[in-house]
Every structure is written in structure tokens, then in C-alpha cells.
Amino acid sequence: MNLCHPDPPELNQIETEELQTIQWHRKQLLEDIQKLKEEIAEVFAQIDCFESAEESRQVQKEKELCIGRKKFNMDPGKGIQYLIEHKLLSSNTEEIAQFLYKGEGLNKTAIGDYLGERDPFNLKILQAFVDLHEFANLHLVQALRQFLWSFRLPGEAQKIDRMMESFAARYCLCNPDVFQSTDTCYVLSFSIIMLNTSLHNPNVRDKPPFERFVSMNRGINNGRDLPEELLKVEE
């Protein structure tokens, strides 16, 4: 008889069956845990793959957007077409106007050339672009400064004319009590631009005096003169 290591008591049939059942459940539980670990590992692998693909798509999108901006700066029409074809812009005129208004990476001269085109599609974009500007309670000079900061006036007279007509209409809509008509706003805006060009052009030695500016704008308010106080602010 071994007193140090006594033999375990023998199990009866019922106890043996219960032990076998417990061992079987333990084995099943371990297998389930292993399957769960494998499934979790697979899910994480799929997430990593998805994030990598998403990152790759984002990099490709940024690359195409950069190309589109460069194309726009060289040829605005082709640049917009490229951005639409690559689904970086839709053909919605308001969306395109917003893109030009933000102007990220865009040449302001190219923006001005594109907005000044007489194509009906471009005219709608010009209108949407002008509508993005808020001129309420701004003096005309302040509004002009804000407007002309967002692009550079093109050299073609007809383009400038279309753009300034749109500006005048928008300014008068935001400030209905300042001028008798949009024509008055249009003419005065042009005069301010011409005056500003002369004052800041080093090649123009004879700077126009304020009296000449007043004289240029006599009778533009539906046949009447604008208040001199308004013109003095333009000085």
C-alpha cells in the first residue's frame, strides 16, 4: 500500500460518463475559441486591406485633383472638363462656381478668363459665382475690392463688361437703397476701376484729380448727379 500516492478512487459508470461529457464540452469550447480568433484575425486583415485601398484611392484622387488644377491654369475649359470626367466635379454650375470661389491652387487670371466666357454654361457659372459674394452693407469700393480679389479681370473688354454687369446687379440686390438703377452702379464701378488703374500706374504721370472723377460721373444716376458725399468716399 502506497501512503504517499494513494490511487484515485475508481469512478462508477455515471461519473465516468459525466467526466467524458465535460471533456467533450471543453474540447468544443477550445475549438470555438480558436475559430473565433481566426475570424477576428480575418476581420482585422480585411479592415487593413480596406484602409489601404481607401488610402490608395485618396492618394489617386489628390493626384488627379492636382492634375486638374494644373490643366485649368493652362486651359480653364479643358481643366474643368478633366475634373468632371474624373468625377472630381459634377457639371452642376453652382458646384463649379464654388470650386472657383475657393480657388485652391487656381490661377486668378485663369478664373477670370473662364468666368468671362459668353457660353451659356459659363454665364450660369458666372452668375452662381457672383451670388457667392455677400455685399450687404458694404460700400461699393469694399464690395469691388472683395469681388476683384477672387479673380483677375481678363483683358478682353466684352468679358469685363459681362462680369461687371453681374457684379452691379448683385450689389444692387444686396443694397437696394444705394443706387437708382444697376446701370448707375455699373458705370460708377467702371469709373472706380479706371481711376484706380490710373492712380497706381507708374507710367501715368498726370494723376486725375478728384474733380475730374466727379465730372466723369455727372448725370449717371438716372440723369441726376450722385451725392458728392458718396463720390468723396470713392476718392
Q: Specify the DSSP class assigned to residue 218.
A: T
User: Residue 216 domain-assigned?
Assistant: yes
- Give the residue numbers spanning the domain of 197: 116-231
- Residue pair 150/111 in contact (Cβ under 8 Å)? The answer is yes
Residue 1 or residue 154, greater confidence: 154
Residues linked to residue 221 through DSSP beta bridges, in sequence order: 224
What phi and psi values does residue 103 have, to the nearest 5 degrees?
A: 65, 20
| CB atoms inside a 10 Å sphere around CB 233 | 12
Percent of residues, the chain, with pLDDT higher than 70: 81
User: Residue 62 domain-assigned?
Assistant: no
User: Residue 101 domain-assigned?
Assistant: no
What phi and psi values does residue 155 have, to the nearest 5 degrees?
A: -80, -20
User: Residue 208 domain-assigned?
Assistant: yes
Residue keyed to cell 486583415: 45
Residue 142 or residue 53, greater confidence: 142
* DSSP characters over 167-185: HHHHHHHH-TTT-SSHHHH
User: What local confidence, expressed as pLDDT, does residue 14 receive?
Assistant: 77
Residue 235 or residue 178, greater confidence: 178
Q: Specify the DSSP class assigned to residue 220.
A: T
**CATH for 165:** 1.10.1000.11
| CB atoms inside a 10 Å sphere around CB 138 | 18
Q: What stretches of 103-181 show up as alpha helix (H) in DSSP?
A: 108-115, 120-131, 140-149, 157-174
- Residue pair 111/103 in contact (Cβ under 8 Å)? The answer is yes
Q: Which of 145-149, 158-162, 172-176, 186-190 has the lowest mean pLDDT?
A: 186-190
Mean pLDDT of 177-192: 88
Return the amino acid letter for 162: R
User: What's the CA gap between 144 and 189, in Å, rounded?
Assistant: 8
User: What's the CA gap between 60 and 185, in Å, rounded?
Assistant: 46
User: What's the CA gap between 130 and 123, in Å, rounded?
Assistant: 11
User: Residue 133 domain-assigned?
Assistant: yes
User: Residue 68 domain-assigned?
Assistant: no
Mean pLDDT of 43-71: 79
Q: 160: closest CA among 175, 173, 181, 144?
A: 144
Mean pLDDT of 23-43: 81
User: What local confidence, expressed as pLDDT, does residue 50 receive?
Assistant: 67
User: Residue 77 domain-assigned?
Assistant: no
- The mean predicted confidence, pLDDT, of the chain is 84
User: What local confidence, expressed as pLDDT, does residue 111 receive?
Assistant: 97
Burial of 70 (0-12, 13-18, 19+ CB in 10 A): middle
Instruction: Look at the chain and report how many structural domains it folds into.
Output: 1
| CB atoms inside a 10 Å sphere around CB 117 | 19
Over residues 101-116, the pLDDT tens digits come to: 999 999 999 999 999 9
- 207 pLDDT tier (thresholds 50, 70, 90): low
Q: Above 50 in pLDDT, residue 234?
A: no
Please tell me which residue in 39, 54, 156, 235 is annotated as part of the active site. Answer: 156
Q: Which of 23-27, 43-47, 184-188 has the lowest mean pLDDT?
A: 43-47
Mean pLDDT of 25-53: 76
54 carries an active-site annotation: no
User: What's the CA gap between 204 and 197, in Å, rounded?
Assistant: 9
Q: 127: closest CA among 97, 107, 101, 156?
A: 97
- 235 pLDDT tier (thresholds 50, 70, 90): very low
User: Residue 16 domain-assigned?
Assistant: no
